[in-house]
Amino acid sequence: MKKIKIIQHAKLQAKITGFAGIIAGLIYSVGGTFYDLQTVGLNKGTLLAYIAIPVMPIYFAVFGFITGIVGAYIHNLFTKK
């Protein structure tokens, strides 16, 4: 096995998890809207659900970047020289 570049791997991981955050934010906001429409009606919780669309990808990407750094570092530690 070869060693991998830590920052390059972290950037790739951030892109992948950021995209997953977009999908999760859309599912959360649309699902929250349908739930609110069927129960209590639109309220502040609905607004918070739509705030998830831009916020979740950012959180996911930051978490992905950090885990990408840690994962690449651990990989490089156990890779034979």
Question: pLDDT by residue for the chain (81 residues), tens digit each?
Answer: 789 999 999 999 999 999 999 999 999 888 878 877 777 777 777 788 888 889 999 999 999 999 999 999 999 999 976
1 domain-assigned: no
12 domain-assigned: yes
Instruction: Give the predicted TM-score (pTM) of the model.
Output: 0.83
SS (H, E, C) the chain: CCCCCHHHHHHHHHHHHHHHHHHHHHHHHHHHHHHHHHCCCCCHHHHHHHHHHHHHHHHHHHHHHHHHHHHHHHHHHHCCC
| The total number of structural domains that make up the chain | 1
Query: Would you state the pLDDT for residue 7?
Result: 96
Query: Would you state the pLDDT for residue 10?
Result: 97
53 domain-assigned: yes
Which domain, by its residues, includes 70?
6-76
